[in-house]
Amino acid sequence: MQFFLDTADISQIEKGLEWGMVDGVTTNPSLIAKQGKPYLPTVKAIAELVPGPVSGEVLATDYDGMMEQAARLSDLADNVVIKLPLLPDGLRAARSLADQGIKTNVTLCFSANQALLAAKAGATYISPFVGRLDDLGQDGMSLIEEIVEIYDNFGFDTEVLVASVRSPLHVTMAARLGAGVATIPFKVLEQLYRHPMTDKGLAQFLADWEATGKSFDD
């Protein structure tokens, strides 16, 4: 399973890369706005830093506008993936870009039927938002299960990119269901490492060794 960081914070991306746990990045206008940075230069900076896929989102909602902005995003770096909204024009753009060999990430997916449409449009990734469904009292991970099943039934190449991840449990469940990618906030990536028994065990090991009075070379 691949881990993408969902962020526009360069320091977080650098830390995740140092850990060897970041395969790509997803970002959007909201995340970049929070950093107080210009849009296209920030996407370019991230793409130059990350060796894997970097999703940069169009701001237009009409086909012609999406295609124009997609071309500008694609010109930033070879690893930029065009993030498109799940609208009729967005799916039309996904098909056009797929025909040009340009990778796409269709975002804001909330139903299995939407995911089916995205796959038929040739999307490289589909981004179902599990956390936002949970917020509505629905089971976001059930949607992941449905999409994985449908894609497996018909052999679609579109990868399930689990988005709006709120906790390590979302990551575990996504992995168990066979999703190819989870895009996660940095704080969730940190939480994946943590367990109180790990901390307790390490503290005990170090205390036991210190009690011997020996050094690493003894």
Q: What is the mean pLDDT of the chain?
A: 96
Residue 218 has pLDDT above 90, yes or no: no
In the Cβ-directed half-sphere of 103, how many Cα atoms lie within 13 Å? 17
- For the ranges 28-37, 112-121, 137-146, which has the lowest average pLDDT? 28-37
Residue 170's alpha-carbon distances to 15, 156, 184, in angstroms, are: 22, 23, 10
Q: What is the pLDDT of residue 204?
A: 93
**Regarding the domain delimited by 2-212, which CATH topology (the fold level of the hierarchy) does it fall under?**
TIM Barrel (3.20.20)
Neighbour tally for 45: CB within 10 Å? 18
Residue 190 has pLDDT above 90, yes or no: yes
- Ranges of each domain in the chain: 2-212
Q: What is the pLDDT of residue 217?
A: 87
d(CA 124, CA 7): 20
Options 83, 120, 200, 214, the catalytic residue: 83
Residue 214 has pLDDT above 90, yes or no: no
- The phi-psi region of residue 153 (left if phi > 0; otherwise alpha if psi is between -120 and 50; otherwise beta) is alpha
**Nearest 10 degrees: Cα torsion 7, 11, 17, 23:** 10
Quick check: is 83 catalytic?
A: yes
Q: Which neighbouring-strand residues pair with 109?
A: 128
Q: Angle at Cα 153 formed by Cα 148 and Cα 157, nearest 5°?
A: 65
Residue 14 has pLDDT above 90, yes or no: yes
Which single residue is written with the structure tokens 């009409």?
62
Q: Which amino acid is at 189?
A: L
- Please answer whether residues 81 and 47 qualify as being in contact, where contact means their C-beta atoms are separated by less than 8 angstroms: no
Contacts of residue 161, defined as CB under 8 A and 6 or more positions apart, other chains included, come to: 4, 26, 105, 125, 126, 127, 128, 179, 180, 181, 182, 183
d(CA 43, CA 76): 8
pLDDT tens, 18-69? 999 999 999 998 899 999 999 999 999 999 999 999 999 999 999 999 999 9
Q: What is the pLDDT of residue 198?
A: 93
